[in-house]
Structure 1
Amino acid sequence: MALEKTWRWFGEKDPIKLDDLRQMGVEGVVTALHHIPNGEVWPVDEIMKVKNSIEQKGMRWSVVESLPVSEGIKICSDDRGRLIRNYQQSVRNLGQCGIDTICYNFMPVLDWARTNLHFRLNSGGESMYFDFPTFVAFDVFILKRPNAASDYSAELVDNAKRIYERMSESEAEELAYNIIVVTQGFIDGVIDGSVSDPKGKFLEFIDRYRNIGKAELRANLKAFLDDVIPVAEEAGVKLAIHPDDPPFPILGLPRIIGQLSDYEWLFQANGSSSNGITFCAGSLSARKENDLIEIIEKTRDRIHFVHLRNTQLLEDGSFYESGHLSGSQNMMKIMFALLGEQKRRIEMGRSDYKMPVRPDHGIKILDDYNHAYNPGYPLIGRLKGLAELNGLMSGIEFMLLKERT
């Protein structure tokens, strides 16, 4: 019984179709109602349209990724009450439709950050790269966030300044546009391409957190959990928070889900089994002190969803996405630990043993260059990752079975 093989699908506008997923051996689809504005209720009829279209192709809607948590909830704005009620109703509606897992995040303003969306690997494929000094150049000299330089060492700022001075004006604008709009617009980002002044609007969103540090954001997350988890329990739904990407503070914003101590706090904040996590190997691996096997062992009861990919860490805190098997992490050990947890759940009689897993991101290769896929989500690169992970699962399962016979 391998982990359930899933795939992130961006709906009817996705150039990758459900028929394609069925051909690839995908068992479960990970998707969302991308056409419903953030903060609004997901109606039952809209949920069922997507669910039925997936089931007609012989798959199931395994995980919602994501039901966005509005900025008003994260900062506790005056509109929080309405936003929470809408979120609660969406959870009820999803449960009514038989969809039992919701992946969400509590990252302020920016879901994920990369400085190069076309990083060329030695193989010739394209990956995504977070170059720390270049990001500092964006923050300090392009975005010009007030007092940004004080968040970094003098050496790092000097390095960033040299990088910025080598940029043309168009290169600086492209970097800003990629960070603020391109990587965010297709995944419920707060700013899309319709905004005339993305940098100005971005600074406005950042400024809303000027009085919110780690403790305050944690308190706001706990308030969200206390309001939503009881509804999720009644609806038969599990929430799975995604770790911050990267899992350390950026842009002066607090990041509160990025290491084991954060998960320990999360489970203490709300003890329900419906308050769980999305174990994302790629995001967590970008913090070099994270021991991913230890995180699996300490959070195993609450892992409701799994993202697998690898990163290559560099000495200055930079990293690039290196594929699914190769990189700074030992994917065999990670998969062994996850399959061990699945075996434990089956032996305990738990119903949540499927532990949906998806190949997270992918390297652009071959015919991927001829299509306008979302950043990080090429067809062939992810299919390669799915095949690699499936082969790894099969091999480890054979070893485990051999040990028992």
Structure 2
Amino acid sequence: MRQTWRWFGPKDIVSIDDMLQAGVEGVVTALHHVTTGNVWSPDEIARRQRELSVMKDGQPSGLRWEVVESLPVSEDIKKQKGAWREHIANYKISLKNLADAGIEVICYNFMPVLDWTRTSLAWRVPTGATCMRFDYADFAAFDIHILSRRNAAADYPDEIAETARARHAAMSAADRDALARNVVFGLPGAAENFTLDDVRRHLDEYGSIDAGRLRAHFIDFLTEVAPVAEDLGLRLCCHPDDPPFDLLGLPRVMSTEADYQAIMSAVDTPANGITLCSGSLGARPDNDLPGMMERMGERVHFLHLRNVKRETGAIRGSFHEAEHLGGDTDMVALLAAALREENRRKAAGRADWSIPMRPDHGQDILDDLNRKAQPGYPSIGRLKGLAELRGIITALSHPKVATLD
């Protein structure tokens, strides 16, 4: 597996030097400052490539931009409103510009309105480390009482709605503001950051869009862009919903294996592939991550390896980011399945036999606690996770260990 690392550009406090010392082989990044729907120009792509090609002292880093994460799909495309046709045309141009720059793997998602969603960005675990957490009752408090979405309480079990009411009543104004900021948190340097009014406006516009219609819009998008990607030699890979269940009354269409199979079948080309995120999918107890890797592995173009600890057995429930080997996903079994897929690809002569992966998220530990990096992306916590994953890969690949065939 190709060991990569997510970097948010020059403003990221985790530097290129840090990545090199962690032993990574390639960089995962994006042009977060470019407004969604606009073209990624050759000049902007080349500038990002130059930025990651040197260390702080000006020496060559030897690192390349290997995976885009992500080339965002606009809300207009998801809703098929406004400038959606222009945005699809711009998406195709961006794909061409990325291909011309030598980048082949493009990660994206089709989540409506909000990207990943958490209620706490620095929740303390018993070791004293902090992590991101999704508390279902806190989210209900946000939805029902802060966002004040129409008829929101009806979407929650009675006991969750009552807990949400009590928690909201006990919150100070600062607590409510902090919860709202956490839920709509954006990436550093992103061109757009939603306000609560923005979220309300988008929810109104999604009022007539159910899961079937959103899936149809997704298929329409892929019908346009996947053939372009195939012609350019690119591999598109959709990231799953995070969390992988309905939120805010919005449809979710990439939460389960069945969701992925439906999209892969509808636009059946190798260019239409999967970002298998073990943390996002692992937040649902009915998702079998090693099995998904076995059954859909030929279309997995990118791996996000992280773990979550589910706090209930419900499909919709609370969870927190665990250590990479400490959550509910059997990471050893998942990595073994991924290595078997690589062996199958190598035997078949596939040029893309080595699947890029990155240690996704990480707990803030040691000096991370004082550095205040992008939530989920500390240097030491991710380094620890990468070391653990690298150790498993090395052990499973050792000639004295049982065959992976």
Q: Which residue of 1 aligns with 2:193?
A: 191
**Structure-1 separation of matches of 2:47 and 2:340:** 36
1:158 aligns with 2:155: no
Q: Which residue of 2 aligns with 1:195?
A: none
**Structure-1 separation of matches of 2:244 and 2:189:** 18
Q: Which residue of 2 aligns with 1:312?
A: 309
8 Å contact from structure 1 (residues 111, 189) kept in 2: no
Shift in Å, 1:372: 2.4
Q: Which residue of 2 aligns with 1:228?
A: 225
Q: Which residue of 2 aligns with 1:62?
A: 66
SS at the partner of 2:132? strand
**Structure-2 separation of matches of 1:187 and 1:68:** 14
**Structure-1 separation of matches of 2:112 and 2:255:** 13
Q: Which residue of 1 aligns with 2:285?
A: 288
SS at the partner of 1:340? helix
Q: Which residue of 1 aligns with 2:122?
A: 118
Q: Which residue of 2 aligns with 1:256?
A: 253
> Residue by residue, what CA displacement relative to the aligned partner does 1:327-379 show, whole Å, maximum 9, x if unpaired?
11111111111111111111111011120110101100111122121111111
8 Å contact from structure 1 (residues 125, 365) kept in 2: yes
8 Å contact from structure 2 (residues 134, 319) kept in 1: yes
> Residue by residue, what CA displacement relative to the aligned partner does 1:283-305 show, whole Å, maximum 9, x if unpaired?
00001111112211221110000
8 Å contact from structure 2 (residues 36, 191) kept in 1: no
SS at the partner of 1:5? strand
What is the TM-score of this pair, normalised by structure 2? 0.94
Write out aligned runs for 1:203-282 (5 A).
203-282=200-279
- Moved beyond 3 Å, runs of 4+: 52-56, 187-190, 399-405
Distance 1:300 1:290, change over 3 A: same
8 Å contact from structure 2 (residues 368, 378) kept in 1: yes
Write out aligned runs for 1:254-403 (5 A).
254-315=251-312, 317-398=317-398, 403=403
**Structure-2 separation of matches of 1:218 and 1:347:** 35
Q: Which residue of 2 aligns with 1:51?
A: 49
**Structure-1 separation of matches of 2:285 and 2:401:** 33
> Residue by residue, what CA displacement relative to the aligned partner does 1:54-88 show, whole Å, maximum 9, x if unpaired?
34411221100000101110100131111011000
> Residue by residue, what CA displacement relative to the aligned partner does 1:126-156 show, whole Å, maximum 9, x if unpaired?
0111111111111001110011111112222
8 Å contact from structure 2 (residues 290, 330) kept in 1: no
**Structure-2 separation of matches of 1:121 and 1:340:** 34
SS at the partner of 1:333? helix
**Structure-2 separation of matches of 1:251 and 1:32:** 27
Distance 1:226 1:178, change over 3 A: same
Task: Identify unmatched segments of 5+ residues in structure 2.
Answer: 54-59
**Structure-1 separation of matches of 2:360 and 2:107:** 14
SS at the partner of 1:255? coil
Q: Which residue of 2 aligns with 1:169?
A: 173
Root-mean-square deviation (Å): 1.6
8 Å contact from structure 1 (residues 240, 275) kept in 2: yes
Shift in Å, 1:399: 5.5
8 Å contact from structure 1 (residues 112, 184) kept in 2: no
8 Å contact from structure 1 (residues 105, 241) kept in 2: yes
Q: Which residue of 1 aligns with 2:111?
A: 107
Shift in Å, 1:46: 1.8
Distance 1:249 1:400, change over 3 A: farther
Distance 1:133 1:304, change over 3 A: same
8 Å contact from structure 1 (residues 247, 284) kept in 2: yes
Distance 1:403 1:257, change over 3 A: closer
Q: Which residue of 1 aligns with 2:20?
A: 22
Distance 1:151 1:402, change over 3 A: closer
**Structure-1 separation of matches of 2:120 and 2:393:** 31
Write out aligned runs for 1:128-147 (5 A).
128-147=132-151
